[in-house]
A and B are shown apart, each in its own frame.
Chain A
Amino acid sequence: MLVIVDVSLILIAGILILHLFGFNFPSLGDAKATITPGEPACFYEYEREFNLAASLEMCCWEAVKRVNQKSVGLYEQGEWLSWIYYNNNGKGNIWMNSKAKVECEQLPFWIRK
């Protein structure tokens, strides 16, 4: 049993050494982005009017700027939106589906969990 653990630790150590020297491995996020089905959809909501974002990364960027992130559910313009990014006054919100969220997570400026 301990042998299996030791081999696993050796593999982890190998990966950590390679990573330390700048070798980039495919991340869990990459895998999630690949297996999450559907097309990304991200909406700007301003005073209850929803507009589909012209570019996903701009929409991700707007989401980063918000204070709060919450998992929710809303059906809008044929899309099931499961994440909202908002500030407390509630005027301008960003909504996105799961596919959009995993794609946002791949962007270098994404700082949310």
Chain B
Amino acid sequence: MKRRKNRPSPILSSKGIFFILLAVVLILGTLNLLQAKGLFIPSQPKPLVENGVVDLDRLTLEQKIAQMTVVLWVPDLMPAWKNLQMGGLYMYALATENYFRSLITELQQEMVIPFFITADAEGCFNPFENFWDFLPNNKIATVGEAFEKGFREGQEMKDLGFNLNFAPVVDLGDEIWKCRSFPGSEVEVAELAQAYTLGLQTQGIKATAKHYPGKTLIGKDPHKNIAEAEIEAKDLYPYYYLIEKGDVSSIMVSHLITTGEVDSQGVPSVVSVEVIEHLRQQFPGLIISDEIHMLGLKNYYATVDEMYIALFKAGNDLILNFDKDPNEVYRMIQVIKASVEAGDISEDHIDASVKKILEAKGFVVKD
């Protein structure tokens, strides 16, 4: 007579436990991956745009703050950036023109408010050097050459789908790279930058004079993260020249702590209310922060939240936040939102910046 074995239930067997645990780990791993891509960020409502008119009152505070932020293009993160309706995308080098062209077309699809598509096409190091050979700034000698350079770069960038260039560099005397600045005195640099700007902007690409208030290309200490500089009148000359001519669309502000002609009061220029307010009074265009994860700025604050608040509070219109974690960018939006609701950051300032951004994107803004 056969004896029946007393078998344990398969669920409770050691193999069963192993498979359950394995399944749990796999599910949790997948959830972590989805979270890393920002897919758990709450879905944002579509902004309402009618016949090219945007009503600021009908944008949520999150949408306004997102419009004020330029993020790094990373393929996996596009659903998150599109959901958050970020103000712009920064593109780094890609292998071919066709890749850029098709990608940017795809990026802008379904965007009610299109992204600023941005790059650092400075001519010496730029994201297109894989296939285009632009003259570096240090090789430009005449106003005609500068205009031609701007015109040609603008034409090519427009063809690919770009609309905002973080150039020209108008810092004097490039000691570090030797090729980012135009050559000559402050007067020559200003005239060449003006011609370049005109050439670029005739093609519909917005130019950005950088890095206000100057002196960012001087300094050799690789271990010194919080840098200071004394600004002279000649450092400011190209900015005032471009502002007076009224052509340049935007100015980028650096992380340097400055004294002299521009005194940032012991804090990095990009978070100095005095520096940015002074610039705002003279310049109606977009004021853009340099990338905010540079240690010269970040090390200045005990927490990143303090840094985020200071950046918005200072009056920057566009913040370059190239953190590849969309959850952190979303958190920044929430931190700023809370700060606005608490009355720490003025909503009027936010509205004024968003109005400038939307107008630069070609919309009529109702406020």
Contact = CB atoms under 8 A, between A and B. Distances in A.
Nearest to B176: A54
B177 interface: yes
Nearest to B295: A57
A9 B21 contact: yes
Contacts of B24: 9, 13
Given A65-B92, A67-B94, A111-B72, A57 B293 contact: yes
Given A6-B17, A87-B129, A88-B130, A111 B328 contact: no
Contacts of A108: 293, 322-325, 328
A56 interface: yes
A92 B129 contact: yes
B324 to A, nearest CB: 6
A51 B93 contact: no
B222 A56 contact: yes
A67 B324 contact: no
Main secondary structure of the interface of B (DSSP, over half): loop
Contact of A16 (B25, B120, B177, B178): B25
B31 interface: yes
B189 to A, nearest CB: 19
A111 B21 contact: no
B366 interface: no
Interface string B302-333: 00000000000000000000111100100000
Interface in B64-85: 72, 74
Contacts of B222: 40-42, 52-56
B291 interface: yes
A5 to B, nearest CB: 6
Contacts of B72: 109, 111
B35 A20 contact: yes
A27 interface: no
A61 B297 CA distance: 15
B93 A13 contact: no
B112 interface: no
B2 interface: no
Contacts of B294: 55, 57-58, 61
Contacts of B3: none
B32 interface: yes
Nearest to B34: A20
Interface in A7-57: 9-10, 12-13, 16-17, 19-20, 39-42, 44, 46-47, 49, 51-57
Nearest to A1: B14
For the side of the interface on A, what is the size category?
35 or more
B127 interface: yes
B130 A52 contact: no
Nearest to B322: A109
A107 interface: yes
B220 A52 contact: yes
Nearest to B74: A111
A92 B32 contact: no
A107 B293 contact: yes
A64 interface: yes
B124 interface: yes
Contacts of A67: 93-95, 130
Interface string B2-25: 000000000000110110011011
B18 to A, nearest CB: 6
B227 interface: yes
Given A9-B18, A51-B178, A55-B294, A65 B93 contact: yes
B179 interface: yes
A56 to B, nearest CB: 6
Interface of B: 14-15, 17-18, 21-22, 24-25, 28-29, 31-32, 35, 72, 74, 92-95, 120, 124-125, 127, 129-131, 133, 136, 176-179, 219-225, 227, 291, 293-296, 322-325, 328
